[in-house]
Each structure stands twice: as C-alpha cells, then as structure tokens.
Amino acid sequence: MTWIRPLTTIGTILGAVVIVFGLVVFVSGGALSGLLIAVAIAIVGPGEDLLQAWVRRRAPTTEIGEIHATIVDRATSIAFLVLLGWVVAIASRQGL
C-alpha cells in the first residue's frame, strides 16, 4: 500500500476544515485573520492544483508545461507567505 493516497486525502480534508473554519470565524466575528488563512490555504491547495493543470494543458510541450507549473508553484508559495505574514502582523498588533 502506498502512503500517497491516504496522505493526500488527509491533507484535502484538513485543508477543507481550515478553510471552512476560517470563513466561519470571519463571518461570525469579523476576524480578518480567519479570511486571510482561508484564502491562503485555498491558494496553495485547490487553486495551485487547478492553475498547474491549466498551464500544463496549454503548454506546447511537456517541458514548457513543467516550467510553467513550477512558476505557478513559486507564485502560489509567495502569495501564501504574504497572507500568513499579514496574519502575523495582525496578531502582533492585537498582542496575540
């Protein structure tokens, strides 16, 4: 048995739980940090997967598709870190 499928399933479930919880926290209490975390997880999870599949399909060659998929990976990582940095800044101003 390979560990890839169970780990992927666990990651997907946990990502969905964090996204939903972050949105609930934002909607119910207005906590911007909940929204930022939900968006960050959505970007590096399903957003990245969709974008990578899209650039691979549109690429004229497999090699170019992989280069573009790597660019998507790096860009989504940067977006994730910017959003989490924003959350840290919010938390530091609130004394958390």
Within 30-61, residue ranges assigned H as helices are 32-42, 48-58
User: In the predicted model, is pLDDT for residue 1 greater than 80?
Assistant: no
In degrees, to the nearest 5, what angle opens at C-alpha 81 toward C-alphas 23 and 55? 90
Token match 């977006």: residue? 79
- What is d(CA 82, CA 14) in angstroms, rounded to the nearest whole number? 21
Q: Kindly report, residue by residue over 64-83, the tens digit of the pLDDT.
A: 999 999 999 999 999 999 99
Q: Kindly report, residue by residue over 4-40, the tens digit of the pLDDT.
A: 999 999 999 999 999 999 999 999 999 999 999 999 9
Token match 């530091």: residue? 92
- Confidence at residue 81, expressed as pLDDT on a 0 to 100 scale: 98
Q: What is the pTM of this model?
A: 0.88
- Give the model's confidence band at 94: pLDDT under 50 very low, under 70 low, under 90 confident, else very high: confident
User: In the predicted model, is pLDDT for residue 96 greater than 70?
Assistant: no
